[in-house]
């Protein structure tokens, strides 16, 4: 393989690994306040109820 091919291969591998390491390092920094967390939980419960209702409606048909 020509030298330019090896350079491109190594550069792409470095970009992929660098992105994965950055993603791993920043994954735990997301913190939500109690109010926002409560809103997320409420919205999740509403969505699950709608999904359950849709599933039952489809079974009735």
pLDDT in tens, 34-58: 888 899 999 999 999 999 998 888 8
Give me 37's structure tokens: 């967390």
Give me 52's structure tokens: 């359950």
Is the pLDDT at 18 greater than 80, yes or no? Answer: yes
Interval 23-39 mean pLDDT? 83
Query: What confidence score (pLDDT) does residue 58 get?
Result: 82
Residue 28: HSE in the Cβ half-sphere, 13 Å Cα cutoff: 3
Q: If you average pLDDT over every residue of the chain, what do you get?
A: 90
Higher-scoring residue by pLDDT: 61, 45? 45
Give me 54's structure tokens: 């849709």
Is the pLDDT at 61 greater than 70, yes or no? Answer: no
Angle at 39 between CA 35 and CA 41, to 5 degrees: 115
């Amino acid at each position: 393989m020509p030298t330019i091919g090896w350079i491109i291969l190594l550069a792409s591998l470095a970009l992929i690994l660098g992105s994965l390491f950055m993603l791993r390092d920043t994954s735990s920094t997301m913190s939500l306040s109690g109010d926002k967390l409560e809103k997320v939980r409420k919205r999740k419960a509403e969505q699950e109820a709608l999904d359950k209702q849709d599933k039952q409606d489809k079974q009735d048909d």
